[in-house]
Every structure is written in C-alpha cells, then in structure tokens.
Chains A and B, each alone.
Chain A
Amino acid sequence: MADTSLANLLQSSESADTRPALGERVLEIRDLNVTFKTEDGPVYAVRGFDLDLDAGEVLGIVGESGSGKSVTMLAVLGLLPRTAQITGSVKFRGEELIGRKPKELQAIRGEKIAMIFQDPLTALNPVIRVGKQITEALRAHHTDLDQREAMGRAVELLDSVGIPRPEVRVMQYPHEFSGGMRQRAMIAMMLANDPQVIVADEPTTALDVTIQSQILELLKSVQERTRTAVAFITHDLGVIAHVADRVQVMYAGRAAELSSADVLFHRSRHPYTRGLLASLPSLTGRTGRLLPIVGAPPSMLNPPPGCAFHPRCPNAQGKCAGEQPPFDPIDGDPKHRIACYFPVSADGPQT
C-alpha cells in the first residue's frame, strides 16, 4: 500500500499537469504532537497542533524561540532526530507522511517539499563548488541526469535567482559568495526540483537588513511565478507583514491565533499576539517605550497547565490555569481563530 502510494508520488512529479491547482490543500497537519525524550524527562515541543497550507499561499508561522515552529516543519519533512516521538497526522496532498519509511520520505524531501535554512553560511558545504551542490540536489532525485545537463540547469537556476555571471559562479566555492548571494544560491538549490511546498525556516534572520528585503522580494517573486505553497517560519513580524497571506501564531507548541495577515495586524484578539505587536518598534507612530511581554517563555519540560500563556497574560483568570482553551473561530470569521477565553477587544490599541 505504502509502496504504491510512493510510486504515485514519484510519478506525479514527472508531468507538469499534476501540480496542485491554485487553492488545493497541499499540506494538512492534524493533532501533531512532538515529544523529545531527554534525560530530564520528556520535552513537549509541539502539542496538538493543526495547520493547513494551500497551493499558492504564503503562510507565516510566528512564535518565540522554542515555540515549536521549526520542529513542526522538521517533523513534516521527517528530519527530526530519532529521540523525537511524533504522533498525529501530516498529509501531503492527501498522502499520510507520519509513519512512512525513511526512504519514502527521502523521495519527497527536496522533490516535493523543499526547505530553505536560516544561515546560508553554514547551510552550504564549504568544500564543494556551488554548482556541484545544486546538481547534487538535482541528482538526488534524478539519478539518470548526466553531470553536463545538470550543470546547465544549475547555471539557469543561479540566473533565475538573480546571480550575475552564473556560468562563472557555478564554478566557485561558497566562500567566494557574499551572504546574500549564498542565500540566493540556497534558494536556487531548493528550486532545483520545482517543489510544491517550500518551507522557509527564518531565511532572512542571518542576513543584514538591506539584503533581507532583497531576499524577501526574490522569494515573493519566485512564489508568485510558481504559485508554490510557502510556509514561512520567522519570529520577525515585520517580515510577516511583507510576505505572508495568512499568519499562524504559535506559543509553547500550540496554536495561539490564526488569521489573514491583514486581520492580524489590525484586529488581532489573542493577548499574546497583541503583546508581540506592542513590542514592535514603529517607524511612523509613537516613539515611546516599547512594551515587552512580561516573563519568559515557559520550559517545555513542564509546560504550564491550561493555557500555556496564562502566567504572562494580562487577561488571565482562574479558568485559564485549569483548562486549555479551544482553538475556535472568533468575530464570526471562520478564517480567524484564537485559543483564548478572554480575548482582547478588537478595537484596543494597535500598532
């Protein structure tokens, strides 16, 4: 059964018409739990997390360090270490990924779901020519492709991400590239197999601000052309405002708020989201003190009972410590969901 579905998956990549139609659900995560066994006890990194990703959309996933955003996507790709226990369901175009054999996941990685990493300095192999690394990505899935042909594709790909003189650049080593160029090369590598889902794990965090906007522009234009679904992981709300259609806010391994980017920035209801927005500096508005969220993110070794945010939440009441609030739609908008018993009013102070 698993074998035939794998065959289907492999086959579907051959013809262009099996690319998902716009709006087709490409990724569906249901009740995902990821627990790491450590010597201090289990670390609950992701707890009952749901996520939908449709073809053609950019979904921003925001949260503090340790909120489970990267772990969720690594679980999708099957890249978590063996100490991770994963339960729940992850479906890629209807095919269940959890519980698949490593070989089957390997066939999906890079080919169907590709990932861009945070630090292009370390994500490129220092001793291998950039062109060779791109052809490696190609040949990992197309073993019959000969090196010359693959190199030609590598030149095209570098050209496509705006690297000047790609025919010279393919023969160079990563240390001869600037930081922004390396990230472009990473993006080229990831585009090599024309994936249907792109996971961008803080792709601009390691870059300086001017390069950041270039890379975001590049990702955006690539996404608009290819109509690929993008899951954009970041802790930078400014980046989210720039690229995302919808935003998923995560806190302590759970979903806190989900809405369109527009709604999030203007009518967010979850106290945590509000806190994040209030801690952002504004270029145009008031110049007063920034408001931090009091306290520190919880330890996932023993997360707080009930709503994990309640120890830091200005609105918290007794009920919050008792029971996890459901992740329900609010304001009669099915696309806006929050997990909170006492939401902030929609017309409170905004940034």
Chain B
Amino acid sequence: MTDIRETAAVVATEPGATADAVSTAALGMGVKPLTPTKLAWRRFRRHKLAMASAVILLVIVVMCTFAPLFTKYSWNTLIRNPSGGLERFLHPQHGHWLGTDELGKDWYTNVLYGGRVSLEVGVMAALASTFVGTIIGVAAGYYGGWLDNLLMRITDLFLAIPLIVSLILLTGLPANEPWARTLFGPSQSVRSVTTIIALFFWMPVARILRGLVLSLKEKEFVEAARAAGASDGRIMFRHLIPNCTGQIIINTTLSVAAAVLLEGALSYLGFGVDPVKTPTWGNLLAHAQGQTQLLPALTYGPGIALVLTVLCVNFVGDGLRDALDPKQLSV
C-alpha cells in the first residue's frame, strides 16, 4: 500500500491536482461546510408554524416528563382542607390550576402525570412500529420476488383489519390467555397497550420504505457497494436505510401523533391503561366525562393537552417533511 502513497506524491504534483488544492484554498474551506443535517435544520427553522409547534411541544414534553418539578402533589394525593375533609370539585384556582375531581385529586397534577404515560405510549408505539415497518419494508423492497409478495400481502391483511374493534378484542386477551400475557404484558398495563397499538402501526412505514428501496436499490451506489464486496445486510443497513432516514423520521413523528390519539380513544372507551393504577389523558377524559354535570372544567385539561400535543406533533411532522424531503412538493 505504501507504493500507492508514493504514486500519490507524483500525482499530486501534477498541474491538475495542484489546481484542485489552490481552488479549495481560494474557495475558502474555512467556511464551515454544510452537512445534510445542518441544511435540514436550516430549512426547518424557516417553517414558522413547525418551529412554534416544536417549542410548545417541548414545553409539554418537559412538563410531563419532569412532572414532580412542576407540581407539589402526586397524582393520587387526596387534597384535604385544614379540618381534614376532602377538597372535592374545587373550581380552577390558585394552587389547583385545573381544580380537583370528585375524590379530591389535583387535576393539574393528574394531567401532567397522564401526559407522561400518553406520550410514552405514543412514542414507544411509534418507535416499535417504525422499527418493524422499516425491517419489513426494506426486506420486501430489497429482496423482491416471493418474499416481497408475502410481506406485502401480510401488510394488506393488517390494513384490512378494522382497527378499533381488533384493538378492543386484543386488550381483553391478556386477562384470559397466558400466551397473550407473555406477549403483550399484563392486561391494561402501559406495556400491553403500547404493544397492541404498535401491532397496527407498522404498515404505512413498511409500504413507504418498500417503495423507496425499490427505486434506491437500482442506484449505482448500491451496485458499487456490491462490487466492493458488501453483503446484503451491509447494503441494507449501511446504504439503503440511511437514504431513507428522512422518511423514517417523518413517519415516526406522524405515528406518534396517531398513537397518542389512539391511546386516548382506547382509554376513553375503557380498554386502555387501567385508570386506577395509572392516569393517561384518555382515561382522565373518560373520568371527567362522568363529572361534566358537576364540574365541566375537568374535561378541558386533558382534552386541550391531547389536542394541542397531536396538533403540534403533526405540524412538526410537516416541517420535518419540508426540511428532510425538499424534493417532495408540499401542498
């Protein structure tokens, strides 16, 4: 190999090569070159709505994640007045920003702690489903043939299953079936709800990535990698998936919004996370609905938090799409 280095010296002294060197100096390589990430960040910043949404989302995420720092109560603390009686149905006021429920629990605290779980379910379900969807989509697109056919028909099958009905059926399984308990986790636990939602969220990602890989695998750099002796796995993980990063990120983001919403719907219907053990925005809403006659303000907290989060995530998703996939025409 040292031989080649010597050659280099010869080559480098050719007029062409030195011209290269001069031009790099003249062009001022001192100017920091822009990496794709920096370019994307620059485009994202121009998207005002997405930037504003990102800030709001950040506030929500920080407040929920570090809930103990933003409230002095725990979600199941019962608020008592100095004489020891429960402070039930307090109207929103200083110290209890969203009031208290019929048991005397601070509602603001519950919304914060509920957000923790709702966001956790949303993010974990989105990550898990994107992971599965990526593997299935890339494998189908790359290998093609019967495997592609098989995987895509399974995808079609999952898309054809009515979502809410099967989710409700599946959430009931762990209580009765031991195999479902090992697979999904205990009934009405955060883990089981996350797993079950993820089970129905991988299809769009799989389809999108299959399409992308179908066109990417014909590119010359894939053949170049193969000519360099790269294995199928190396080509898929080192060359194809990095080229899909933009789409993967956009889809994960949009999946988070959809999963948060679905968790809300499931919990609202009473098939989600157990309200006695863990608050979520969905079961807080269901809980508040029972009290609308006495204190309608209880629905506002979890309702607004849920809507705001989903809205912001979607706007951020749009911003990311424009930033990471500039070739796609934004409508």
In the complex, how many angstroms separate the beta carbon of A52 from the nearest chain B beta carbon?
Answer: 22
A46 interface contact, C-beta 8 A = no
Contact with A along B111-124 (1 / 0, CB 8 A): 00000000000000
Q: Please state if B220 and A127 are interface contacts (CB–CB under 8 Å).
A: no
Given A106-B229, A110-B228, A117-B220: A127 in contact with B242 (beta carbons within 8 A)? yes
Q: Please state if B16 and A160 are interface contacts (CB–CB under 8 Å).
A: no
Given A124-B221, A140-B234: A110 in contact with B4 (beta carbons within 8 A)? no
Given A125-B242, A162-B11, A180-B20: A106 in contact with B231 (beta carbons within 8 A)? yes
A128 interface contact, C-beta 8 A = yes
* Chain B residue at minimal CB-CB distance from A199: B227
Select one of A109, A159, A210 contacting B228, CB under 8 A: A109
Kindly specify which of A25-33, A89-97, A186-194, A257-265 makes contact with the partner chain: A186-194
In the bound complex, what is the Cα–Cα distance between A270 and B21 (angstroms)? 45
In the bound complex, what is the Cα–Cα distance between A93 and B223 (angstroms)? 24
* Chain B residue at minimal CB-CB distance from A178: B20
Given A125-B239, A162-B17, A194-B1: A140 in contact with B231 (beta carbons within 8 A)? yes
A54 interface contact, C-beta 8 A = no
In the complex, how many angstroms separate the beta carbon of A243 from the nearest chain B beta carbon?
Answer: 15
B7 interface contact, C-beta 8 A = yes
Q: Please state if A123 and B24 are interface contacts (CB–CB under 8 Å).
A: no
In the bound complex, what is the Cα–Cα distance between A164 and B20 (angstroms)? 7
Select one of A79, A124, A213, A226 contacting B226, CB under 8 A: A79
Given A164-B17, A186-B224: A218 in contact with B11 (beta carbons within 8 A)? yes
Given A172-B33, A214-B17: A160 in contact with B229 (beta carbons within 8 A)? no
Contact with B along A294-312 (1 / 0, CB 8 A): 0000000000000000000
Given A127-B242, A190-B228, A222-B7: A165 in contact with B29 (beta carbons within 8 A)? yes
A119 interface contact, C-beta 8 A = yes
Q: What A residues does B16 contact at CB under 8 A?
A: 180, 210-211, 213-214, 217
In the complex, how many angstroms separate the beta carbon of B144 from the nearest chain A beta carbon?
Answer: 10
Q: Please state if A127 and B245 are interface contacts (CB–CB under 8 Å).
A: yes
In the bound complex, what is the Cα–Cα distance between A211 and B23 (angstroms)? 14
A176 interface contact, C-beta 8 A = yes
Q: Please state if B226 and A176 are interface contacts (CB–CB under 8 Å).
A: no
Q: What B residues does A170 contact at CB under 8 A?
A: none
A8 interface contact, C-beta 8 A = no
Q: Please state if A160 and B17 are interface contacts (CB–CB under 8 Å).
A: no
B14 interface contact, C-beta 8 A = yes
B181 interface contact, C-beta 8 A = no
Q: Please state if A217 and B11 are interface contacts (CB–CB under 8 Å).
A: yes
A351 interface contact, C-beta 8 A = no
Q: Please state if A79 and B227 are interface contacts (CB–CB under 8 Å).
A: yes
Q: Please state if A136 and B11 are interface contacts (CB–CB under 8 Å).
A: no
In the complex, how many angstroms separate the beta carbon of B66 from the nearest chain A beta carbon?
Answer: 35
Q: What B residues does A140 contact at CB under 8 A?
A: 228-231, 234
In the bound complex, what is the Cα–Cα distance between A157 and B1 (angstroms)? 9
* Chain B residue at minimal CB-CB distance from A222: B7
Given A165-B24, A186-B224, A221-B10: A137 in contact with B229 (beta carbons within 8 A)? yes
Given A156-B1, A165-B24: A77 in contact with B29 (beta carbons within 8 A)? no
Given A119-B220, A156-B1, A164-B21: A109 in contact with B227 (beta carbons within 8 A)? yes
A327 interface contact, C-beta 8 A = no
Q: Please state if A225 and B230 are interface contacts (CB–CB under 8 Å).
A: no
In the complex, how many angstroms separate the beta carbon of B10 from the nearest chain A beta carbon?
Answer: 6
Q: What A residues does B327 contact at CB under 8 A?
A: none
Q: What B residues does A114 contact at CB under 8 A?
A: 227-228
Q: What A residues does B243 contact at CB under 8 A?
A: 125-127
Contact with A along B238-259 (1 / 0, CB 8 A): 1100110100000000000000
In the bound complex, what is the Cα–Cα distance between A77 and B223 (angstroms)? 11
In the bound complex, what is the Cα–Cα distance between A211 and B16 (angstroms)? 8
Which parts of A154-205 form the interface with B (CB within 8 Å)?
Answer: 156-157, 159-165, 168, 172-173, 176, 178, 180-181, 186, 189-194
B6 interface contact, C-beta 8 A = yes
In the bound complex, what is the Cα–Cα distance between A163 and B29 (angstroms)? 14
* Chain A residue at minimal CB-CB distance from B145: A82
* Chain A residue at minimal CB-CB distance from B243: A127
Q: Please state if B7 and A122 are interface contacts (CB–CB under 8 Å).
A: no
* Chain A residue at minimal CB-CB distance from B3: A225
In the complex, how many angstroms separate the beta carbon of A319 from the nearest chain B beta carbon?
Answer: 42
In the bound complex, what is the Cα–Cα distance between A110 and B227 (angstroms)? 6
In the bound complex, what is the Cα–Cα distance between A140 and B232 (angstroms)? 11
In the complex, how many angstroms separate the beta carbon of A85 from the nearest chain B beta carbon?
Answer: 17
Contact with B along A123-146 (1 / 0, CB 8 A): 111111000000011001100000
Q: Please state if A160 and B223 are interface contacts (CB–CB under 8 Å).
A: no
Q: List 12 A-B contacts (CB under 8 A).
A: A106-B231, A110-B229, A115-B224, A115-B227, A127-B243, A128-B238, A160-B5, A162-B12, A211-B16, A213-B16, A221-B11, A225-B4
Q: What residues of chain A have their CB less than 8 Å away from a CB belonging to chain B?
A: 77, 79, 106-111, 114-115, 117-119, 122-128, 136-137, 140-141, 156-157, 159-165, 168, 172-173, 176, 178, 180-181, 186, 189-194, 210-211, 213-214, 217-218, 221-222, 224-226
| 9 further A-B pairs in the complex, CB-CB below 8 A; given A127-B242, A128-B239, A156-B1 | A119-B220, A122-B220, A123-B220, A140-B228, A159-B8, A163-B20, A189-B224, A213-B16, A225-B3
